[in-house]
């Protein structure tokens, strides 16, 4: 069960992270934040990133095998990176609809999925 909690928290963490890192670009495109000073954009992004940490830290504590979870440190990191790409592609596709996915993006994503596979080999 801790594996499911870990992955769920990592998904939520990555949603907040992606919005913090790239959401301000959408706000700028729509004109909402186009006149904000850089420090204002940074502060806004950090307010969103706070919720990322509220999910990320518990996910790693629950999922880490040293705390009774099912995943090694390396497995946690590779899972997080894979989830990060999936969440990024979904949010970028929704917020930035003019961004297109090309074959090389799919190939790169397949390599990340391969990394997850190889990480779990004994």
How do residues 37-90 score in pLDDT, each as one tens digit? 999 999 999 999 999 999 999 999 999 999 999 999 999 998 998 899 889 888
Please answer whether residues 24 and 33 qualify as being in contact, where contact means their C-beta atoms are separated by less than 8 angstroms. Answer: yes
Which range among 3-17, 24-38, 66-80, 94-108 shows the weakest confidence by mean pLDDT?
A: 94-108
Among 54-63, 91-100, 111-120, the range of highest mean pLDDT: 54-63
Structure tokens at 51: 């919720």
pLDDT greater than 80 at residue 18: yes
pLDDT level of residue 109 (50, 70, 90 thresholds): confident
pLDDT greater than 90 at residue 11: yes
pLDDT recorded at residue 102: 85
pLDDT recorded at residue 46: 94
pLDDT greater than 80 at residue 25: yes
Phi, psi of 14 (to 5 degrees): -75, -30
Percentage of the chain lying above the pLDDT 90 cut:
55
Q: Which residues pair with 71 in a beta bridge?
A: 64
CA 97 → CA 54, 90, 101, 103, 106, distances in Å?
29, 10, 10, 17, 17
| Count of residues in the chain | 122
């Amino acid at each position: 069960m801790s594996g499911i909690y870990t992955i769920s928290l990592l998904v939520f963490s990555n949603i907040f992270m992606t919005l913090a890192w790239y959401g301000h670009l959408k706000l700028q495109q729509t004109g909402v934040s186009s006149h904000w000073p850089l420090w204002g954009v940074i502060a806004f992004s950090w307010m969103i990133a706070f919720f990322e940490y509220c999910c990320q830290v518990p996910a790693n504590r629950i999922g880490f095998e040293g705390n009774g979870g099912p995943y090694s440190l390396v497995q946690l990191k590779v899972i997080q990176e894979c989830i990060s790409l999936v969440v990024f592609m979904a949010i970028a596709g929704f917020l930035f609809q003019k961004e297109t996915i090309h074959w090389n993006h799919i190939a790169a994503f397949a390599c990340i999925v391969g990394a997850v596979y190889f990480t779990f080999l004994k």
